[in-house]
Every structure is written in structure tokens, then in C-alpha cells.
Amino acid sequence: MAEGGGEERASGSTRPVFISYASQDAAVANSLVENLEQKGLRCWLAPRNVRPGAQYAEAIVRANNDAQAIVLVLSKSAIASTMSPGKLNERPPNTSQSSRSELIARH
């Protein structure tokens, strides 16, 4: 499993890669994060990077908006997830618009 602190925003100066996944795919997401971080990319992964006491959904939306890129672990579980794609486009209060370009990739 990928190591990390309980921070809402991953540490360091570069914006992290946001990993989006259904809870049923946690093992896949953790393996992905471990591989990306071994290659020098910082990742933001819930619940690992959600600060204790933070509003969980707000922390996810904020991290998504702050990310340099988003990696979606697309599976049947993710498609059936109750977290709607529109929810990830929301901005938490008192934040500016994300400067990340939108990109959709399929494999």
C-alpha cells in the first residue's frame, strides 16, 4: 500500500495527481499510487490524504480541483458508484477555478 500522511493536500510544491476510484477498487488504486510515486509523481488518494476532522466530500472536491491531473480507475464498481461525475466538478467554498485542463482518456 502507498505510504502517506493524513494530509488533505499532499506535501511538496508540485500539484499532485488525483486518483479517483470506487472503494471496491482500493487495492488497484493503492497499487497504482505506489507505482506512480516510485516514479516521482505525487498522488492524492482518499482516505489517505484526507486530513483528520476535514469534511470528507469537501476534501475530495478541493483535492480534485487542485490536482495537476486526474487518474480514474474505471471499473464496473466505479460506474455504479453513487459519487456522480458532476460532484467532482464542484468547487468548495472560497476556492478559485481549477487551472487544470480537462482530459479524458480511454483504454
- What averages of pLDDT result for each successive group of 10 residues across the chain (107 residues)? 44 82 95 96 96 94 94 90 57 54 46
As a whole number of angstroms, the distance between CA 85 and CA 94 comes to 21
Q: Which residues pair with 17 in a beta bridge?
A: 43, 69
User: In this predicted structure, what is the pLDDT of residue 26?
Assistant: 96
User: In this predicted structure, what is the pLDDT of residue 105?
Assistant: 45
User: In this predicted structure, what is the pLDDT of residue 107?
Assistant: 37
Q: Would the pTM of this model clear 0.85, i.e. be above it?
A: no
User: In this predicted structure, what is the pLDDT of residue 29?
Assistant: 96
User: In this predicted structure, what is the pLDDT of residue 83?
Assistant: 61
Fold of 17-82: Rossmann fold (3.40.50)
The C-alpha cell of 98 is what?
A: 481549477
As a whole number of angstroms, the distance between CA 75 and CA 24 comes to 9
Q: Which residue ranges make up each domain of the chain?
A: 17-82
